[in-house]
Structures are given as C-alpha cells and as structure tokens.
Homo-oligomer: A and B are copies of this chain.
Amino acid sequence: VRTAGRVLALLALGASGIGAAEPVATAAEVAAAEQLRDAALRSDEAWALVSSLTTTVGPRLAGTPGDRAAVEWAVEALASGGFANVRRSEVVVPRWVRGEAQFELLDPVALPMVTAALGGSVGTGDEGLTAELLRVESVDALRALPAGVARGRIVYFAGRTARTRDGSGFARAVRARTEGPSAAAAVGAVGVVIRSIGTSDDRIAHTGTLVYNIAQTRIPAVAISNPDADLLERRLASGRPLRARLRVTARDLPQQRSANVIAEIPGTDRAGEIVLIGAHLDSWDLGHGALDNGAGVAIAIAAARLIGQSAVRPRRTIRVVLFANEEYGLSGSGRYVADELESLARHAFALEADMGAGPVFRLSARVSSRDWALVQQIHRVVGGLGVELGSNDATGGADTTALRRRGVPILMPQLDATRYFDVHHSANDTLDKVDPQALRQSVAVFAVAAFLAARFEDTPGRLPAEATR
C-alpha cells in the first residue's frame, strides 16, 4: 500500500502536467505515429471487419455454431491480413442455452413483459412458478431487510443504470445482475427479476451473466426491459401486492471447445517482448455482437495491421489476441494466462478494446510511475482527436484483468460509453449502432498507443502483483 501511495503521488505530478514531460520517442517515431494516426482516420478497414463479422457470423455465444464460425472468420481475417503466427489456442467453454423466458404480472389480466434470462440462469421447470413480488432497490437494500420477508417471493431489483461516459453507471448497477440472484436465494427467494442493466427506453431486455454463489441454491433470474420495469413501478405504486409468473427453460449443456485466436506483427530487436491488443470474439446471443464486441475485434485487428504497414517497424511484437468466451466466464483470458505463464514477464504492455466503437475520450493507464512519460508521449500524438489525458489508476478491461493482476502494465484508451449501454447485451446490438467515424478515431488511438509502446526505449516497469494486496 505504501508503494502504491508513492506511485500515485508521483503520478499526480505527471498527470497534472507540472514539469515538462520528457520525450520518450524520437522525431522519426513521432512522425511514424502521426502517420499511423492519419492513416487510421482515412481507413474503412475496421468498418469492413465489423460489418463482415456481424453479417456473415452474427451471434456467437460461447460453444455455439456461431462461436465456431467466428473462430474460422478470425483465422481467415488475420491470415489474409498479413499477420504472422496466426494460430488458434484451444479453450474449453461452458455451453448455456437460453431457451424461453417469460415473466408476466397476473392480476387482473395477465400482462407479459419483455424478458430475457440472465446468462447462466437455471430453469424453472416447464410449468414455471408463481409468487408475490418483493421490490428492493439494490443488493445492499435486500441484505438490510428483516429476515424472512423475501421467503417464497420473487425479488425484483429496481435499480436503474445511470448513463455515464466512462461506464461507471453500469459498474454500479450491474451488481443486481451478478450478485442479486444468490443474494436473493440466501434470504429464501424463489426467483429474481431485475430492471435491465442498460440505459435504453427500448422495450428490449438486456442479458449478461449472473454469478451464482456456490453456497446458495440456484434460483432462476431474468431481466425485463426498462419500459416494463416502469410499468411494474406504476403498478407497485398502487400499494397492492403483485403476483407474477416466471418461466425459464434455460439450461446448461456439456462443455464445448472454442479457441483464442492469436496473430502477430513481429518486432525487430525486441521481438521477444509483447505489446498485446486484446478483444473478445464471442458475443451474447440476443444481438449480432456489433458493439460488443465486433467493434473491439475490428479495432484490435485494424490497429495492428496499420502498425504492420508502418515504415518504422515495431521493436516489440504486436500480438492480437481475440479471446474466447469473455461473456460467460472469461474462459479465454484465463486460458491465455495459464498458457503464457512463463512469458508474462515479457508482456510489456496490454491494451483491450471492449467498450464499443468509441470514440476514445480519455487515455488512461496503469503503468510503472517512471513509464508515465510514455502515456504522455502517446497523448501528445492523439490529444488533438478529442482525447484527454487520464490517470494512472486504470483497471483495463475484463480480459486483461488477469494479466494486470500478474503485473502486466496496462494502457487504456477509454472508449466513450455514453450510448453503449443502450444496446449492450441486447437484441439491439447490431451494425447500424456502430459509428464509422468514431471507429476510425478509436483505431487511430489504439494504433498510436501500441506502436509507441512497441518502440518505447526503456524496459517497462512491472505492476505490483495484486495478490499481495
């Protein structure tokens, strides 16, 4: 903790711009980075990639035929894109089947709501279950209730997702989805319904994985659309008890095989060191996986390809990793870290694209304090694209968390999430929601960041391993 404190003190100086930042790139490197940036802004390659993936494959939940088709698509896209060492690394993934999900208010007339099972939910049995609703605002509010009040009820988590640029509104709200089902089971509930974790007023339910606590009974859990939750609130306002029927036919099937797809732009004199650009290839089943995460896949591939075409070669190797099954358990990144345990110390920096198509509004990082000058250097090249300089306490994305925890420094171009959670994990995640201009800008920032990281003269410092905290 003390070390972290010193790091942050130094960083505060760096981030606030006191003192001139030391240049960490040569004039030729800066010029090459600017050329990458400008080439990205003219390129439609990322758009072509996300269009192709969503059109020819579409939904690609782990373990499904779509998932397998996506792996084939990725291998083909990378091999035909001039990458070296294109390979698939097998990953065992869970296979969950959504089935049907019905949630309806019963009195006086049955009113069916737009409903989606949460990822991993167990089923109710074909007959479903009927119970009185208990409204709570949040997991914490549920835990504060007197014992017994939730027994035999369907718990309704009412919290709304706030619209924010940095995704923090989502991060606050999502606990109802991840922790809510087991928290409700712990107090005797028989089912869970949540207001969708999403910011849209469309009549569309947002799925996403729940996390069952192994010590609790697994109870079925679904999300309803925001307008349905609004109606539910208006009915609850009458003060009368509300009965509802819940029916879910979701189930688990045996595990399947999927793969991380990996490809490289080889480095020169430091080829053994890796700058990783990650994005997950899988998607939820309800949409076409355009913003989550076809856009991220496209950003990663297009940024690396641009670097591969630069006259100034990357000294470190740029490695694109398209992770398997991020959505339903982070299988691919877990497998990657296990496979690469010996080489993690040679992972100089990791970047991840998994928050839509952008634009990048801020450049954050989590690097050794003495490497902050690299972040500043990147920012000097991309600041004109509307990118502010962030801080050095970034968490990175879901798939790079396992790397960060083992000390791999993180560069984090933050993608603007203001409208991302309108469509995230919903049927509305389709190509028309991708803004081509934002996508180009995002590719520019990722390309510049990865390129300058691959040229960075110093040996990057490591993060403290988080297990020691």
A: which residues have CB within 8 A of B? 51, 54-59, 65-66, 69, 108-111, 114, 201-204, 226-228, 230-231, 234-235, 287-288, 426-428, 430-433
Asked whether, in the complex, the Cβ of B65 is within 8 Å of the Cβ of A109, the reply is: yes
Asked whether, in the complex, the Cβ of B201 is within 8 Å of the Cβ of A432, the reply is: yes
Contact of A58 among B57, B59, B111 (CB under 8 A): B111
Across the A-B interface, the 9 shortest Cβ-Cβ residue pairs: A227-B430, A203-B427, A55-B234, A203-B428, A65-B109, A58-B111, A69-B109, A202-B202, A201-B432
CB-CB < 8 A to A203: which residues of B?
Answer: 204, 287, 426-428, 430
Q: A202-B204, A204-B203 are in contact. Are A231 and B111 (CB under 8 A)?
A: no
> Can you report 16 A-B residue pairs in the complex whose CB atoms are below 8 A from each other?
A55-B231, A55-B234, A56-B108, A58-B109, A58-B111, A58-B231, A201-B432, A202-B204, A202-B428, A203-B427, A203-B428, A226-B432, A227-B428, A227-B432, A230-B432, A231-B430
**Other A-B pairs, 6, CB within 8 Å; known A55-B231, A65-B110, A66-B109:** A56-B235, A202-B204, A203-B426, A228-B430, A231-B288, A231-B431
Interchain CA distance A431-B234 in the complex, whole Å: 11
Contact of A431 among B108, B230, B426 (CB under 8 A): B230
- Which of chain B's residues has its CB closest to A237's CB? B55
Asked whether, in the complex, the Cβ of A55 is within 8 Å of the Cβ of B235, the reply is: yes
Asked whether, in the complex, the Cβ of B430 is within 8 Å of the Cβ of A51, the reply is: no
A352 CB to closest chain B CB, in angstroms? 26
A186 CB to closest chain B CB, in angstroms? 32
A74 CB to closest chain B CB, in angstroms? 15
A286 CB to closest chain B CB, in angstroms? 9
- Which of chain B's residues has its CB closest to A203's CB? B427
A98 CB to closest chain B CB, in angstroms? 11
